[in-house]
């Protein structure tokens, strides 16, 4: 039989190595996740050698950059359809929140410049344009987006921390309680009071936090919050209907 070894051993296959691309590497990295991403993990996932990866990425930093770009692209970017300024800001807040909550390690990559500045600049220009159309000056628009995106990123970090704690088998409240148990009585009185109140308090959602931020922007602009909230509620109602139909 052709290719057989007279000793009976199976010879390794000879031929061209499996064809891969930068896109395939990005997809594999996204499936693995940015936390603990390594060239070895991607090579094993694609069933290729690390040397094969080096034809498409220059090293670990480039791999992280490719993965970060791909992760950011998996969440649809809000489209300017002439929507109210509060809806526009809410959509971008949700976009930022969802991206970083889906891949918490993406934030570190963002800070290290893994997301190209060209991409960021295009998005910022689009965001500012939608707000300027709604009567904001460019400085007001930038300030509004900064505070809303800060709210979104902060909320994503809190949610990611709580999710990590739950995966380790305890809640944030339980983690704080463990800290209190190791302290002298009333050493941390305000944290102790907070934990006592939490079971009776309504949990503030991401939507609540964004609305608080938008309420502040409306106040600065001299706009009645009730009118803005009505627009947001209508938008959310339509979005909910579309998700149910899907």
pLDDT of 37 > 70? The answer is yes
User: How remote is the C-alpha of 159 from its chain's centroid?
Assistant: 11
Instruction: State pLDDT tens for residues 158-180.
Output: 888 888 888 889 888 888 899 98
**66 and 28 together in one domain:** yes
**119 and 132 together in one domain:** yes
Report if residue 187 sits inside a domain: yes
Contact 89, 214 (CB under 8 A): yes
Instruction: State pLDDT tens for residues 180-207.
Output: 888 888 889 999 999 888 887 777 899 9
pLDDT of 75 > 50? The answer is yes
Report if residue 11 sits inside a domain: no
**Using 50, 70 and 90 to split pLDDT, how confident is the model at 101?**
confident
Which residue range forms the structural domain that includes residue 31? 22-73
**46 and 111 together in one domain:** no
Tell me what the mean pLDDT of segment 80-89 comes to: 96
Contact 87, 211 (CB under 8 A): no
**31 and 127 together in one domain:** no
Average of per-residue pLDDT values in the chain: 85
**137 and 34 together in one domain:** no
Report if residue 36 sits inside a domain: yes
Tokens 């009567």 correspond to what residue?
A: 135
Name the more confident of 62 and 219.
Answer: 219
Name the more confident of 67 and 131.
Answer: 131
Contact 45, 31 (CB under 8 A): yes
Q: Sign of dihedral through CA atoms 245, 204, 163, 70?
A: positive
- What helix, strand, coil percent values describe the chain, rounded to 5? 70, 0, 30
């Amino acid at each position: 039989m052709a290719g057989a070894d007279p000793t009976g051993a199976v010879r390794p296959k000879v031929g061209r190595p499996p064809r891969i691309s930068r896109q395939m590497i990005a997809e594999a990295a996204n499936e693995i996740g940015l936390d603990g991403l390594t060239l070895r993990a991607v090579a094993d996932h694609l069933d290729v050698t690390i040397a094969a990866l080096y034809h498409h990425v220059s090293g670990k930093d480039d791999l992280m950059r490719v993965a970060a770009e791909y992760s950011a692209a998996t969440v649809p970017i809000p489209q300017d359809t002439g929507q109210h300024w509060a809806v526009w800001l809410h959509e971008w807040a949700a976009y930022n929140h969802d991206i970083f909550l889906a891949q918490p390690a993406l934030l570190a990559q963002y800070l290290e410049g893994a997301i190209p500045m060209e991409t960021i600049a295009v998005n910022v220009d689009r965001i500012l344009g939608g707000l300027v159309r709604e009567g904001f000056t460019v400085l007001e628009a930038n300030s509004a987006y900064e505070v809303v995106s800060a709210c979104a990123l902060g909320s994503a970090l809190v949610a990611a921390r709580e999710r990590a704690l739950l995966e380790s088998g305890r809640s944030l409240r339980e983690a704080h309680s463990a800290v209190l148990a190791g302290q002298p009585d009333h050493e941390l009185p305000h944290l102790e009071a907070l934990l006592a109140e939490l079971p009776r308090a309504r949990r503030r959602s991401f939507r609540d936090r964004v609305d608080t931020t938008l309420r502040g922007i409306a106040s600065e602009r001299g706009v009645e919050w009730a009118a803005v909230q009505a627009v947001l509620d209508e938008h959310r109602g339509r979005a909910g209907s579309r998700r149910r139909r899907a």
